[in-house]
């Protein structure tokens, strides 16, 4: 059986791969699995449901609500709200289940469905597997007063924004910020939270029409944010994605500040406050070598995981770490959130600026990014990546030449027949040369 759940819920082309029928079936099955686990024992079960701004979210929301209510689950409709907002309210409202409809940074035609367990945490893999197995089973349907009630929850944005503001310890008065809302789920909550925290906010791409989410804007397209920061003479800019679980930044001169640099800024901020657990930050193997070096120089340890926020979060949970994230801008501050939160990330960076009186450019300068080149080698037998002796020898030779000045990573794709060749080196020219030489070896040795 092909798995429906990926690393971040169920995603696909809305009304093609991800249909109303599928959303309904998944919701019914989720209710059954949680009920059988005893999660609903002794009370009427409650779920909260939120979505981003995609037009397909409207019919998918209706399908999810129909599935849950038909299974006897009361539903609170949160409306348009960021994924971390749904996670927060799942916990603060004492809900048994949270559901978010979003495909994050994907293009508008896609959508996704993500379930959150009590407390706002991602479901375990075992529960997701159980949900898939229980789909379309025969079941005893509740009737009369046992079916679920559906009610709007009008204070979702207000409550979530208040939670974000409460996470800051310093007023942000005097800081001018441009916030790119990606025409997505944070179009209301993002500007409100930053303004309520005291910042002057220029919001762009904050007028969603259901079609323009992530359309040449947000964290995957920072050009308009860079331009706006310079034009408005702002202190910084922040680009969110469609569901606001990630954030990239731009300094006052329009230079991009990536996820590694944001992690570095926040790691030192938490360390100085005595809040960086075990003086360690969690990152992935794709984090720039410059980040690892900067943290080592500052006396901060780096725990590296496989690529994917779920692996970062897993490592944080096991060891109790307070900060982790990815180069893409997915930053997890576990003292305040159960998942990545782009608005929270922006607030914490601004708080560091206010506390130190230093510009974002100065703060981000704690690390120097090494040029990083990524080459995708398609149509190869990725399963043999770690087994081919000729390829291993070629990698070893290049690593010996680079020494401590660079890094090489060969990573088979999780979904395609390709191998990613990542090289970091002192210059872009060297990185390109090494990456292309190794890509040629991968193509020759792992040919299908």
Residues near 132 by Cβ (< 8 Å), separated by ≥ 6? 1, 3, 4, 5, 29
Bridge partners of residue 331, in order along the sequence: 325
Per the CB < 8 A criterion, the answer to whether 33 and 115 are in contact is no
**Range 190-195, long-range pairs (CB < 8 A, 24+ positions):** 190/82, 190/240, 190/244, 190/342, 190/343, 190/346, 192/157, 192/161, 193/160, 193/161, 193/164, 193/165, 193/343, 193/347, 194/343, 194/346, 194/347, 194/350
Which of 104, 219, 287, 328 does the annotation list as catalytic? 104
Q: Is 104 a catalytic residue?
A: yes
Distance CA 230, CA 124 (A): 44
Beta bridge partners of 101: 51, 113
Contacts of 313 (CB under 8 A, 6+ apart): 122, 324, 332, 339
Question: Which DSSP helix (H) or strand (E) runs through 295?
Answer: helix 289-297
Residues with catalytic function: 104
């Amino acid at each position: 059986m092909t798995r429906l759940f990926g690393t971040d819920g169920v995603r696909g082309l809305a009304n093609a791969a991800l249909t109303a029928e599928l959303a309904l079936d998944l919701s019914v099955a989720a209710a059954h699995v949680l009920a059988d686990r005893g999660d609903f024992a002794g009370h009427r079960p409650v779920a909260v449901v939120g979505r981003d701004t995609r037009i397909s979210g409207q019919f998918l929301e209706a399908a999810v609500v129909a599935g849950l209510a038909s299974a006897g689950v009361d539903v609170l409709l949160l409306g348009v709200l960021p994924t971390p907002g749904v996670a927060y309210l799942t916990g603060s409202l004492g809900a048994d289940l949270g559901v978010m409809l979003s495909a994050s940074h994907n293009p508008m035609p896609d959508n996704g469905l993500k379930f959150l367990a009590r407390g706002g945490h991602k479901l375990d893999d075992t529960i997701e597997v159980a949900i898939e197995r229980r789909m379309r089973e025969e079941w005893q349907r509740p009737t009369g007063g046992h079916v679920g009630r559906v009610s709007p929850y009008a204070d979702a944005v207000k409550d979530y924004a208040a939670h974000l503001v409460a996470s800051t310890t310093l007023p942000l008065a005097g800081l001018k910020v441009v916030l790119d809302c990606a025409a997505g789920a944070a179009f209301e909550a993002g500007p409100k939270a930053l303004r309520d925290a005291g910042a002057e906010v220029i919001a762009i791409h904050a007028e969603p029409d259901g079609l323009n989410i992530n359309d040449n804007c947000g964290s995957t397209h920072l050009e308009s944010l860079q331009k706006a920061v310079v034009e408005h003479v702002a202190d910084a800019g922040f680009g969110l994605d469609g569901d606001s679980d990630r954030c990239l930044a731009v300094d006052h001169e329009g230079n991009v500040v990536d996820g590694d640099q944001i992690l570095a800024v926040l790691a030192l901020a938490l360390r100085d406050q005595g809040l960086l657990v075990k003086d360690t930050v969690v990152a992935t193997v794709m984090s720039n070598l410059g980040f690892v070096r900067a943290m080592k120089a500052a006396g901060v340890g780096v725990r590296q995981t496989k690529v994917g926020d779920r692996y970062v979060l897993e490592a944080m949970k096991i060891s109790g770490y307070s900060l982790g994230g990815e180069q893409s801008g997915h930053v997890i501050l576990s003292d305040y959130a159960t998942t990545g939160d782009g608005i929270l990330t922006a607030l914490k960076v601004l708080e560091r600026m206010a506390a130190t009186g230093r510009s974002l450019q100065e703060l981000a300068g704690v690390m120097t990014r090494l040029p990083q080149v990524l080459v995708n080698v398609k149509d190869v037998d990725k399963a043999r990546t770690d087994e081919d002796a000729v390829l291993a020898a070629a990698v070893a030779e290049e690593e010996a030449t680079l020494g401590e000045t660079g890094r090489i990573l060969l990573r088979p794709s999780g979904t395609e027949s390709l191998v990613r060749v990542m090289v970091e080196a002192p210059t872009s020219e060297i990185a390109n040369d090494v990456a292309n030489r190794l890509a040629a070896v991968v193509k020759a040795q792992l040919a299908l």
